[in-house]
């Protein structure tokens, strides 16, 4: 894949869009030093040339009473027909957030959104029945909490010198509200109920989070001011934590590696240092604690295996004695990124019996909205 030439203006646009993909053309123009029309044309070109893959919403599913499970699969037999069957099945599965083909011990890695262990067991049983005789091995783990998730990869933007965003007022980018979402490790979360209207908004945002409030309203059947209010509520309760441009870092030689690590007991002091290390590392874009054979996952972008080994050496130097062992996978193809699991519709509840995100006492609903 040949990299697309980028000038400093392109990279600044990518930087600000990776921080908040809902920023208006006018705000971006003021911060990048271009006209509004030039910004619009550049973004359209970056999408057309697949530098930007999509505009996504990052939501915090544990707030909805849902859990993330990683599932890793190796197949004994996988001809072209069976591979097409698998990929079509995964693409339509209501619990699958994404599925990647990978190099290493496993053929595929999947991220599933489930209600609980029993729900996951049913999904796994269905999967094993569907591909009976073809599966060689599988492994899974449940995500406990995340240390970091960012779309702004420091290694890619190193030396850019982009200044902090200047925005005159709060608008439909919700930039001020998002800036107040704390960057901390949240080990426990109070569950909040989403109703069907909230889920419809998240579904619309998952298609393209740069859509206007009117466009989201048309898809969800809600007035624009109602959409604005509900989005502000979800951000206020950290159910929505980011809007970002998914950048094709592979195009620029930064490949996705996942390190699955078994660790010794980590003290509270060590974990605080570890969280700071992962959050500030320019190559790390996701890291989490889990329960399973591997109890820590670290996703990085690196040029090659030598760069991956360099990261691991740095980790072991900073935190000697934490890692027992690890395995590394290289994600080679983003087969399917749903960005929204229809499973959310199955657990969406109305306001009965539990607090709703849209019933926040500290925010008053706009007159005439529900």
Looking at residue 6, its pLDDT comes to 95
Helices (H) and strands (E) in the chain, counts: 13, 10
Assign residue 218 a region: left if phi > 0, alpha if psi is -120 to 50, beta otherwise? alpha
Query: Measured between alpha carbons, how far is 131 from 161 in angstroms, rounded to an integer?
Result: 51
Looking at residue 334, its pLDDT comes to 59
Looking at residue 185, its pLDDT comes to 60
Residue 342 included in any domain: yes
Structure-block tokens of residue 43: 């973004």
Looking at residue 63, its pLDDT comes to 67
Looking at residue 10, its pLDDT comes to 97
Query: Measured between alpha carbons, how far is 37 from 257 in angstroms, rounded to an integer?
Result: 37
Residue 229 included in any domain: yes
Residue 105 included in any domain: no
Note the Cα 83 to chain centre separation in Å.
25
Residue 171 included in any domain: yes
Query: Measured between alpha carbons, how far is 74 from 106 in angstroms, rounded to an integer?
Result: 5
- Residue 211 main-chain phi, psi, to 5 deg: -60, 150
295-320 exposure pattern, b = at least 16 Cβ within 10 A, e = fewer: bbbbbbbbeeeebbeebbeebeeebe
Structure-block tokens of residue 268: 């509270």
Looking at residue 335, its pLDDT comes to 52
Looking at residue 91, its pLDDT comes to 85
Query: Measured between alpha carbons, how far is 365 from 139 in angstroms, rounded to an integer?
Result: 46
- Residue 340 main-chain phi, psi, to 5 deg: -155, 125
Residue 224 included in any domain: yes
pLDDT < 50 stretches in the chain: 350-370
- For strand 108-114 and strand 67-75, is the pairing parallel, antiparallel, or unpaired? antiparallel
Query: Measured between alpha carbons, how far is 179 from 174 in angstroms, rounded to an integer?
Result: 9
- Cβ atoms 317, 269 nearer than 8 A: no
CA angle 119, 201, 124 (to 5 degrees): 15
CATH number of residue 33's parent domain: 1.10.10.2890
What's the total number of domains in the chain?
1
Residue 99 included in any domain: no
- Cβ atoms 234, 357 nearer than 8 A: yes
For residue 362, the tally of other CB atoms under 10 A from its CB is 6
Looking at residue 340, its pLDDT comes to 74
Residues with Cβ within 8 Å of residue 282, at least 6 apart in sequence: 153, 154, 155, 158
Residue 107 included in any domain: no
Residue 279 included in any domain: yes
- Which long-range CB contacts under 8 A does 223-230 form with residues at least 24 apart? 223/368, 223/369, 225/366, 225/368, 225/369, 226/197, 226/366, 226/369, 226/370, 227/201, 228/172, 228/366, 229/358, 229/363, 229/365, 229/366, 229/369, 230/197, 230/198, 230/201, 230/357, 230/358
Using one digit for the tens of pLDDT, what is the confidence trace for 258-315? 999 999 999 999 999 999 999 999 999 999 999 999 999 999 999 999 999 999 999 9
- Indicate yes or no: pTM above 0.75: yes
Closest CA relative to residue 354, chosen from 119, 187, 190? 190
Domain range holding 257?
1-61+146-158+165-370
């Amino acid at each position: 894949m040949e990299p697309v030439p980028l000038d400093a203006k392109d990279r600044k646009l990518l930087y600000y869009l990776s921080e908040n993909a809902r920023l208006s053309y006018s705000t971006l123009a003021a911060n990048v030093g271009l006209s509004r029309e030039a910004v619009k044309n550049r973004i359209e070109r970056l999408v057309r040339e697949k530098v930007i893959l999509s505009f996504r919403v990052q939501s915090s599913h544990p707030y909805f009473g849902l859990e993330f499970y990683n599932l890793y699969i190796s197949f004994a037999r996988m001809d072209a027909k069976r591979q097409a069957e698998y990929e079509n099945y995964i693409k339509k599965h209501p619990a699958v957030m994404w599925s990647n083909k990978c190099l290493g011990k496993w053929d595929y890695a999947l991220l599933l959104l489930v209600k609980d262990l029993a729900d996951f067991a049913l999904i796994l049983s269905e999967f094993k029945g569907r591909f009976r005789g073809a599966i060689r091995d599988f492994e899974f783990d449940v995500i406990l909490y995340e240390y970091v998730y960012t779309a702004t990869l420091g290694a890619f933007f190193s030396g850019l010198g982009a200044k902090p965003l200047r925005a005159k007022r709060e608008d439909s980018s919700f930039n001020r509200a998002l800036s107040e979402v704390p960057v901390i490790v949240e080990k426990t979360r109070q569950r909040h109920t989403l109703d069907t209207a909230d889920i419809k908004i998240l579904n619309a945002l998952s298609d393209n989070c740069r859509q206007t409030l009117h466009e989201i309203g048309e898809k969800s059947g809600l007035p624009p001011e109602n959409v604005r209010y509900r989005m502000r509520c979800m951000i206020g309760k950290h159910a929505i934590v980011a809007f970002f441009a998914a950048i094709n870092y592979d195009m620029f030689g930064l490949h996705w590696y996942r390190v699955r690590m078994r660790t010794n007991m980590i003290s509270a002091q060590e974990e605080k240092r570890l969280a700071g290390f992962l959050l500030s590392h320019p190559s790390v874009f996701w890291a989490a604690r889990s329960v399973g054979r591997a109890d820590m996952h670290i996703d990085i972008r690196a040029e090659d295996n030598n760069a991956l080994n360099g990261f691991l050496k740095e980790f072991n130097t900073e935190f000697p004695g934490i890692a027992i062992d690890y395995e590394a996978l290289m994600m080679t193809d983003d087969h399917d990124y749903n960005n929204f699991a229809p499973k959310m519709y199955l657990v969406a509840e109305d306001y009965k019996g539990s607090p709703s995100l849209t019933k926040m006492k500290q925010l008053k609903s706009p007159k005439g909205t529900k």
